[in-house]
Amino acid sequence: MKRILGFFVVLSALAAFLIGCGGSGDGLGGGSGDPLESRIRALFNDVNQEDLNGTMSHFSDQYLNDCFDWFDVRDEFQGIFSTPSYSEDWIDLDVTFSDIQGDVGYAEGTFMIRTNDNGNVTEDPFDFAWDFVRENGRWVLIGNQLCNSTLQKQETSTPKKRSWFKGTARQSK
């Protein structure tokens, strides 16, 4: 009996090691096994593939963040994806904090956005702090659910504005 128990302990440890060593396969670096980080990596993959339906599947229909709702986010990504001379790659994800309490989650960290605007390539670091909710067994972005008279939609002339999902460009030092 001890040999069988020992075998399962070794097998479990080996499985955990192999799972921990595997990356996410998305070119964004390895995953930590954190469900929120996995969801963010999947979002980045859909954004980088310019898959609008896939990208929007990561947002709750009830998404609201500083007066920007699901439709605003969709319109923003649609504008980015449909502009032939403009492209973005979301890269170098680093989730520095993640917390799940029941069906509510929160993650924060940094990532880079590599932008190609008519041949002008730039890379900008972004900090993020995102709220999630579990809907139908899947983690989706829900936003901060705030919109009042002091938080009004700001029209943008460039697809680089990211206040609608709490991504903010870091100032260069």
Q: Is 1 domain-assigned? A: no
What confidence tier does 149 reach under pLDDT thresholds 50, 70, 90? low
* pLDDT computed for residue 154 by the predictor: 52
Q: Is 80 domain-assigned? A: yes
Number of domains in the chain: 1
Assessment of whether the complete model's pTM goes beyond 0.85: no
Q: Is 164 domain-assigned? A: yes
Q: Is 9 domain-assigned? A: no
As a whole number, the mean pLDDT across the chain is 77
CATH of the domain at 85: 3.10.450.50
* pLDDT computed for residue 41 by the predictor: 96
Determine the Cα–Cα distance for residues 114 and 95; give it in Å rounded to an integer: 18
| pLDDT tens figures, 71-94 | 999 999 999 999 988 989 999 999
| Residue 98: domain span | 30-169
Element (H, E) at 50: none
